[in-house]
Amino acid sequence: MASIEARGLRKTYGGTVALDGVNLRLEQGRILGLIGPNGAGKTTAINAILGLVPYEGELRVLERDPWVERDRLMRDVAFIADVAVLPRWFRVSQALDYVAGVHPRFDRAKAENFLAKTAVRRTSKVRELSKGMVAQLHLALVMAIDAPLLVLDEPTLGLDIAYRKKFYDSLLGDYLDRSRTIVLTTHHVEEIQHVITDLAFINAGRIVLSCTMEEFDSRYRELTVNPGHLPAARELKPIHERQIFGRDILLFDAVDPALLAAHGEVRTPGIADLFVAVMDQGAGK
Amino acid sequence: MNPRTRPFYWSLRRELWENRFIYLAPLVVAAVLLIGFAVNVIHSANQTGTPLALHLPNDPTPIEQPWAIAAVLLAFTGLFAGAFYCLDALYGERRDRSILFWKSLPVSDLTTVLSKASIALVVLPLVTFAIIVATHVAMLALHTAVLLVSGAGLATLRNRTPLVELWIALLYGLAALTLWHAPICGWLLLVSAWARRAVFLWASLPLIAICILEKIAFNTSRFAFFLGYRCAGGFALAFGAGRPCCIPHPLTSLTPGSFLSTPGLWIGLLVAAIFLAAAAPVRRYRGPI
């Protein structure tokens, strides 16, 4: 069953096209990394999925139309929007009471456990917390909701690297074993490479690349070319070239690794490297 | 609790956490009134030997007056607090972007709008009533203490302070005014859900513009009269021509029959319902500012 299914999803703001016919299908139990530059349409796509903006085209989230049935859908979806949105007057204890009050799937003990690992005190108000602590509080609230679909738009913004690492570990450890679907966006793409199961690049309102991580691992190879082998390596049609410390690094799509190995050192590329390659191709380079 | 009413109940709790001025503003006014009253009572007792300088021989209502003044001032505080609450209710959550958090939870736009309307139309009048009664009780205690200390009898106080009747009239009056003002509350909430900035101006300027346009175009002031009637006419309708708080028997001035049979009341309630029903879809379309 598809948790999210979008066909020809369009959204314009005045004359600006934010989504230009997005097609996306995410099966239940998958973790999708939605990657794109600023202004590519990530947040608009996520807002459409969450029923926050109206749209054209077809969109079903957990078999529902998010724009028409937002409040019903929110019983099965937990999400964090891209910026700190917890009201500043909220006391931590009030936030726990409120979410426990309105959300039938909220596990208060679990949220308390998350918070116990942080410096966030029950009696603090949001305005007294640091940026990172607000993010921790919001994560604690959202992660304690046992929702079939979890949407995290830049969830780790403002968190230090140690906490980000712990967060993704707990995200994996805690949720992969259930039939849960997760949509994730972040600018720290390298941190989610081993978390996600599916990858989608979005640029200028379109999905420019979409694959599973199994496909990613089997299709893409990065070759650090041995000196003198560059012309031969180029014969194999790399999709992107770059230079680091005077060495040529070529990216290949669906080329036999055995052929590549003759010309240098072969590795699986990082998502970020493929992202840059795809964006450069799109720019006509 | 019924799972269907839980989101509504917690939305009310949220409003009371967020807008503490709903009860703090009347409490501050009540405190100021009590201090003023205490000074007045003690001062009068010291000067004349009998409590209350208001006690002039030719004034038939010397003792009741402070009670009525307290009630009217607190009721006005409640009205102002309600108007400011409504103007900010659906605008503030967009300005501070917290609407993204509220919308991430299974609470519908209609539930949110209704909970905010309930604060203005149910909770605030009840809070106002409770604070007025508490203020009256405190004033009574203060007055009694001063009378006892100064040696004057309590008989005057007991005979001339029909507090229970005053409270019944007050409860009726607050309910009537709230119903009469419901369309104003609905209008303010609708503008609050819609406007991107300057909510107060959006709520008031179009109405003023209509008044001016009518005056220039037709040299009439019907719309202005209509607005004035809606803002200030409720009191006269609820109490007839009497002065309910200032006569020995407040209950005689109540005119619920004529109030309830005023078509304007029911039309106003219908308009309020339309405004509130419109505010919910407006909130759905509006995101953070």
Chain A residue whose CA is closest to B94: A85
Buried b (16+ CB within 10 A) or exposed e, B13-46: bbbebbbeebbebbbebbeebbeebbeebbebbe
A175, A243: one domain: no
- Determine the residue of chain B that is closest to A126 in CA distance: B98
Cα–Cα distance between A3 and B103 in angstroms, integer? Answer: 20
How many domains in chain A?
A: 2
Contact between B96 and A87 using a beta-carbon 8 Å cutoff:
yes
Whether residue A55 lies inside any domain: the answer is yes
> What is the C-alpha to C-alpha distance for residues B200 and A52, in angstroms, rounded to an integer?
26
Say whether B13 and A54 touch across the interface (CB within 8 A). no
Residue A142 lies in a domain: yes
Q: Shortest CA distance to B284 belongs to which of A51, A156, A112? A: A51
Residues of chain A in Cβ contact (below 8 Å) with chain B: 47, 50-54, 70-72, 74-75, 78-81, 83-91, 94, 97-99, 101-104, 138, 142
Residue where a domain stops, chosen among A173, A204, A235: A204
In a domain, A30, yes or no: yes
Do residues A164 and A262 share a domain? no
Distance from C-alpha of A19 to C-alpha of A40, rounded to nearest angstrom: 8
Chain centroid to Cα B10, Å, comes to: 23
Classify residue A209: in a domain, yes or no: no
A251: in domain:
yes
What type of residue sits at position A127? R
- Quick one: angle between helices A92-102 and B6-18, nearest 10? 160
CA distance B136 to chain A (A): 33
- Strand-pairing partners, residue A184, are A33, A152
Q: For residue A21, which amino acid is it?
A: G
| Chain-chain contact of A50 with B104 (C-beta, under 8 angstroms) | yes
pLDDT in tens, A194-214: 889 999 999 989 999 999 999
Whether residue A234 sits in one domain with residue A187: no
The residues spanned by each domain of chain B are 6-285
The two structure tokens encoding residue A128 = 């007294």
Interface test with A, best of B9, B97, B104 (most A CBs within 10 A): B104
CB contact under 8 A, B98 and A50: no
- Dist CA A1 CA A137 (whole Å): 32
On whether residue A197 sits in a domain, the answer given is yes
CA–CA min distance B273, chain A (Å)? 21
What is the rounded CA–CA span in Å between residue A78 and residue A182? 10
* DSSP assignment string, A119-161: S--TT-BGGGS-HHHHHHHHHHHHHTB--SEEEEESTTTT--H
* Interface contact A87-B98, CB threshold 8 A: yes
Q: Are residues A15 and A118 in the same domain?
A: yes
In 3-state terms chain A splits into helix, strand, coil percentages (rounded to 5) of: 35, 30, 35
B215 touches chain A (CB under 8 A): no
Chain A nearest C-alpha distance from B108 (Å): 5
Task: Inspect the interface and report whether the beta carbons of A102 and B104 lie closer than 8 Å.
Answer: no
Per-residue pLDDT tens for A145-190? 988 999 998 888 878 888 888 888 878 877 666 678 999 998 888 8
End-of-domain residue from the set A178, A204, A230: A204
Residues 6+ apart with CB under 8 A from B278: B190
A-chain CB neighbours of B6 within 8 Å are 101-102
Same-domain pairing of A182 and A241:
no
Are A114 and A32 in a shared domain?
yes
Residue A95 clears pLDDT 90, i.e. is over it: yes
Residues of A in Cβ contact (< 8 Å) with B280: none
- Hey, are the CB atoms on A102 and B10 less than 8 Å from each other? yes
Helix segments in chain B, DSSP class H: 6-18, 21-48, 64-89, 92-95, 99-102, 109-118, 124-150, 155-160, 163-194, 199-218, 222-232, 234-239, 256-260, 263-285
Nearest to A99 among B18, B97, B105 (CB): B105
Same domain as A232, residue A199? no
Residue B107 tokens, joined: 């609470």
Residues A191, A214 contacting (CB under 8 angstroms): no
B100–A104 CB contact, under 8 Å: no
- Distance, CA of A139 to CA of A170 (rounded, Å): 11
Q: What is the pLDDT of residue B59?
A: 45
Whether A192 and A240 map to the same domain: the answer is no
Containing A257, the helix (H) or strand (E) segment is helix A257-261
Residue A211 in domain: no
Q: Is residue A210 part of a domain?
A: no
CA–CA gap between residue A31 and residue B214 (Å, rounded): 62
Give me the residue label for tokens 């009574």: B140
Residue that finishes a domain, picked among A204, A225, A255:
A204
Lowest mean pLDDT, pick from A58-62, A253-257, B29-33, B274-278: A253-257
Three-state SS at A244 = strand
CA–CA separation, A242 and A248 (whole Å): 6
Looking at the structure, tell me whether residues A52 and A136 fall in a common domain: yes
CA A89/CA A73 separation, integer angstroms: 27
Which range marks the domain in which residue A244 is found?
Answer: 216-282
Tokens linked to B44: 């009068």
Regarding whether A137 and A90 lie in a shared domain, the answer is yes
Residue B243: predicted pLDDT? 53
Low-confidence winner among A3-7, A168-172, A242-246 (lowest mean pLDDT): A168-172
- Residue spans of chain B under pLDDT 50: 51-62, 244-247
User: What is the torsion angle, in degrees rounded to the nearest 10, for the CA atoms of residue A145, residue A147, residue A151 and residue A154?
Assistant: 20
Q: Is B119 exposed, middle or buried (0-12, 13-18, 19+ CB in 10 A)?
A: buried
Name the residue in chain A with its Cα closest to that of B288. Answer: A85
Report yes or no: B256 and B172 within 8 Å, Cβ to Cβ.
Answer: yes
Q: Are strands A31-35 and A56-61 parallel, antiparallel or unpaired?
A: unpaired
Q: What is the ipTM of this complex?
A: 0.86
- Which pLDDT score, from 0 to 100, does residue A285 have? 47
**Between chains, do B97 and A83 touch, taking CB under 8 Å as contact?**
yes
A191/A272 same-domain check = no
Per-residue tokens: A94: 């009030």
**In this structure, are A189 and A248 located in the same domain?**
no
Task: Say whether residue B16 is in contact with chain A using an 8 A CB cutoff.
Answer: no
Can you give the pLDDT at residue B60? Answer: 45
* Cβ–Cβ gap A74/B106 under 8 Å: yes
- Tokens standing for residue B77: 């505080």
pLDDT at B8: 95
